[in-house]
A and B are shown apart, each in its own frame.
Chain A
Amino acid sequence: MSWAAETQSILKKELRSELRRRWGSALLLLFGLVTVFVVSFSLGVGSLTPGILSAFFWVTLFFASTAGLSRSFLKEEETKTILALRLLASPSSVFWGKFLFNLLLLFFLELVLVPLFFLWLNVSGINLPSFLLILVLGTLGLVAGTTLSAAMVAKAESKGVLFVILAFPILAPLLIFAMAGTKAAFAGFGWEEMANPVKALISYAAVMGAGSSILFDFIWEV
Chain B
Amino acid sequence: MYIKTMRWLLFFWMGAVIVFAFVEPAPQQQIGETSRIFYFHVPCAWVCVLAFFMTALFSVRYLSKKDPALDAKAALSAQLGLIFCILATLSGSIWARFAWGAFWNWDPRQTSIFLQLLIYFAYFSLRGSVSETEKRATFSAAYAVLAFLTVPFLIFVVPRVTPSLHPSDTVIGKEAEFNLGPVVRWIFFASLAGFTFLYYRLYRLGARITVAGLGERSER
A176 touches B129 (CB 8 A): no
- Surface stretch bound by A, among B6-14, B80-88, B146-154, B212-220: B146-154
The A-contacting residues of B in range 123-156, CB under 8 angstroms, are 125-126, 129-131, 134-135, 138-139, 141-143, 145-147, 149-150, 153-154
Determine whether the beta carbon of B161 is less than 8 Å from that of A222.
no
Q: Are A152 and B157 in contact (CB under 8 A)?
A: no
Q: Are A158 and B146 in contact (CB under 8 A)?
A: no
Interface pair B149/A207, CB less than 8 Å apart: yes
Q: Which residue of the partner chain, among B121, B130, B135, B146, contacts A170 with CB atoms under 8 Å?
A: B146
Expressed in whole angstroms, the Cα–Cα distance for A215 and B143 within the complex equals 9
Instruction: Tell me the smallest distance from the CB of A164 to a CB of chain B, in Å.
Output: 10
Contacts of A208 in B (CB 8 A): 146, 149-150
Q: How far is the CA of A200 from the CA of B119 in the complex (A)?
A: 21
CA distance A67 to B178 in the complex (A): 52
> When A156-B130, A200-B161 are in contact, do A166 and B143 touch as well, CB less than 8 Å?
yes
- State which residues 58-91 of A face B: CB under 8 Å: none
Within 8 A of B (CB), among A143-174: 148-149, 152, 155-158, 162, 165-166, 168-170, 172-173
Q: Interface of chain B, helix or strand or loop or mixed?
A: helix
B121: chain A residues at CB < 8 Å are 165
B30 within 8 A of A: no
Nearest to B128 among chain A residues (CB) is A158
Contact of A180 among B141, B142, B146, B161 (CB under 8 A): B161
Complex interface: chain B residues within 8 A of A203 (CB): 153, 157
Name the one of B119, B135, B158 contacting A222, with C-beta atoms under 8 angstroms.
B135
How many Å lie between the Cα of A200 and that of B24 in the bound state? 43
Chain B hits for A197, CB < 8 A: 161
Q: A155-B130, A156-B139, A162-B125 are in contact. Are A215 and B146 (CB under 8 A)?
A: yes
**Nearest-neighbor residue (CB-CB) of B63 within chain A:** A218
Complex alpha-carbon distance, A176 and B150, angstroms: 12
B183 adjacent to chain A (CB < 8 Å): no
Q: Which range holds the interface residue count of chain A? A: 20 to 34
Q: Given that A169-B115, A204-B153 are known contacts, is A180 also in contact with B162, CB under 8 Å in the complex?
A: yes
Q: A149-B143, A152-B142, A215-B145 are in contact. Are A173 and B158 (CB under 8 A)?
A: yes
CB < 8 Å neighbour of B142 from A148, A165, A207: A148
Inter-chain contact A222/B125, CB cutoff 8 Å: no
* A177 in complex: contacting residue of B126, B146, B147, B161, CB < 8 Å: B161
Within 8 Å CB of B139, what residues of A? 152, 155-156, 219, 222
Q: Which chain B residues (65-81) contact chain A, with CB distance < 8 Å? A: none
Q: Within the assembled complex, what's the spacing in Å between the Cα atoms of A207 and B142? A: 15
Query: Is the pair B153, A173 in contact by a Cβ cutoff of 8 Å?
Result: yes
Provide the residues of chain B in CB contact with A215, threshold 8 Å. 63, 142, 145-146
CB distance from B220 to the nearest CB of A (A): 24
Query: Counting CB contacts under 8 A, is A129 at the interface?
Result: no
Set of chain B residues within 8 Å of A212, measured between Cβ atoms: 146
Residues in chain B near residue A207, CB distance under 8 A: 149, 153
Within the complex, what minimum Cβ distance (angstroms) separates B12 from chain A?
A: 38
Q: How far is the CA of A34 from the CA of B138 in the complex (A)?
A: 37
B122 within 8 A of A: yes
18 A-B pairs within 8 Å (CB atoms) are namely A149-B143, A157-B130, A158-B129, A162-B129, A166-B143, A169-B115, A169-B118, A170-B150, A172-B115, A172-B118, A172-B154, A173-B154, A200-B153, A200-B161, A203-B157, A218-B63, A219-B142, A222-B138
Binding site for A on B (CB under 8 A): 63, 111, 115, 118-119, 121-122, 125-126, 129-131, 134-135, 138-139, 141-143, 145-147, 149-150, 153-154, 157-158, 160-162
A binding-site residues for B, Cβ under 8 Å: 148-149, 152, 155-158, 162, 165-166, 168-170, 172-173, 176-177, 180, 196-197, 200, 203-204, 207-208, 211-212, 215, 218-219, 222
Shortest beta-carbon contacts, A-B, top 7: A173-B153, A169-B118, A215-B142, A169-B119, A158-B129, A156-B129, A222-B138
